[in-house]
Amino acid sequence: MYIPILLACVFLFWYVQFHWKRRRLYQLSRKIPGPLTLPFIGNAYLLRGDAPALARNLLAMFDRYPELSKYWIGKDLYYIVTKPEYLEIILNSPSTYEKVDLYKYVKPMVGDGLISAPVKIWKRHRKIIAPSLNQKILNEYTENICEQCNILIELLQKQCGKGEIDHCRYLTNCAVDIICETIFGVPINAQVTNETYSHIFDRLLEIMFLRIGRVLYHFDFIFCWTKEYEDQKKIIKKIKDLSLYIIEKKKEQLESQVAIEEEKKKPFLDLIMEKHLNNEFSREELEDEINTFLLAGSDTNATSSSFVLTLLGMHQDIQQKLYEEVVEILGPDRDVKLEDLPNLKYTELVIKESLRIFPGAPFIGRIVEEDIVLDDKITIPKGCNVVMGYLHMHRCEKYWSNPLEFDPDRFLPENSLHRHPYSWLPFSGGPRNCIGIKYGMMVMKIMIAMLIRRFKVTSSVKKIEDIELTANVVLKPRTGFRLAFELR
């Protein structure tokens, strides 16, 4: 008789104390708009369905409450932000460098790599890795990138006249080969062996996104009984087997080569491999960063380039203008040289506009470790999370006129003068932005230039709003990529 009463009293005491400690969180959040919050689950009822449905629901949240809103997922408070002025403050605040707890669902694949690492590890790794991606080293990659793009062209030539194909499949294998040849310095010939990296990357990222979005999947004892769990295990094993192969090949290379001067800048894998052999980088750290670059570097480059080609297939006038620039600078058949890249100005405008409409990461999340004052009326309190909606901001009429119109001229210098620098964030912003910005733009510029010089591409999709999106961590079309190729 007394035990249930005692337990009830203990629970009530804990419950009151828990909410009393968070009273300031509640007080400040009341000033922010948001949907109806239910007891215990908060707004988790809005997150349901498969990956496309989750993506639609999340995007609808941003549309319903633009610039700033709040959502509760269980006991966790999330501020949803899309205003450039607020994003600049948040992304540059040292109190928001930590990724939200939901990033733990990508850790089975990338561990504590740069994407998901706690701040202490991220700072150390970034400091070590950054010199391996400086411009001097990137300049040496042009020839390797062109070689792999030429293989891609040969493969796509065989698909000409066959109607629409999934071009992202071919671009993903090419991107994997490029990153292995350049960043890792270990060829794996994914294109020649016709590997299925596009499919397995898509499925893995979809599973990770489902774990983030489906509250029930947050519980390991539930998730481990699902088909998604079994698929994840198989895919992770395949990718990690590849990374182990890369490590062994690189170790052989380093053991056989003449010692390099200590002060010379080294490519990514040479650098962290030597750190590992000198006991400055653990085996786990080594594998985590290789898996991070393999997955993030190749999938985002391939997906972004696939969106560029899709938009060019929908807009023949823009494709023709880009083609004319490429032929004028490169001629009919020679490879891209380092000195050509600054001259491919319209190609860069096209890529930037595509990244505006289809940013790789539609939203990211950070933990707020200290109060952040956005203006004299709004403070984001310590102890909550903040989710930044890049896709919504990139398509908001307040910042972009006719946002669903594909217009590369938006990024001409004279048209960008009065635009807030944080209104375009395909690579995020602040100190914890994407470390591979220059590398990614370089690969995309070479790939798009070489493909459009050789092929005319067409798409059956007529309007951007007809492309239904899904988010499997990286933004993708729900029904996949489709594009027809014909030789020029």
Any idea where the domains of the chain sit in the sequence?
42-487
How far apart are the C-alpha atoms of 389 and 240, rounded to whole Å? 31
How far apart are the C-alpha atoms of 352 and 359, rounded to whole Å? 9
pLDDT over 80 (residue 1): no
Which residues fall within 8 angstroms of residue 349, CB to CB, at 6 or more apart?
A: 408, 409, 410, 411, 412
pLDDT over 60 (residue 261): no
The strand ranges marked E within 428-482 are 455-458, 469-472, 474-477
DSSP category for residue 317: H
152 and 167 in contact (C-beta within 8 Å)?
no
Higher-scoring residue by pLDDT: 343, 480? 343
**Per-residue pLDDT, 398:** 92
Looking at the DSSP assignment, which residues form a beta bridge with residue 322? none
How far apart are the C-alpha atoms of 264 and 433, rounded to whole Å? 26
**Per-residue pLDDT, 263:** 47
How far, CA to CA in Å, does 321 sit from each of 155, 388, 452?
Answer: 25, 34, 11
* Selection from 38, 99, 49 nearest residue 74 by Cα: 38
pLDDT tens-digit map of 56-70: 777 777 788 888 888
Does residue 182 sit in helix, strand or coil? helix
Reading the block at residue 471, the tokens are 């988010």
Of 1.10.540.10, 3.40.1440.10, 1.10.630.10, 3.80.30.20, which CATH number belongs to 42-487? Answer: 1.10.630.10
How far apart are the C-alpha atoms of 256 and 184, rounded to whole Å? 16
When pLDDT is cut at 50, 70 and 90, the band that residue 329 belongs to is very high
**Per-residue pLDDT, 354:** 97
pLDDT tens-digit map of 429-487: 999 999 999 999 999 999 999 999 999 999 999 899 999 888 677 888 888 899 999 99
146 is in an annotated binding site: no
Q: What is the pTM of this model?
A: 0.92
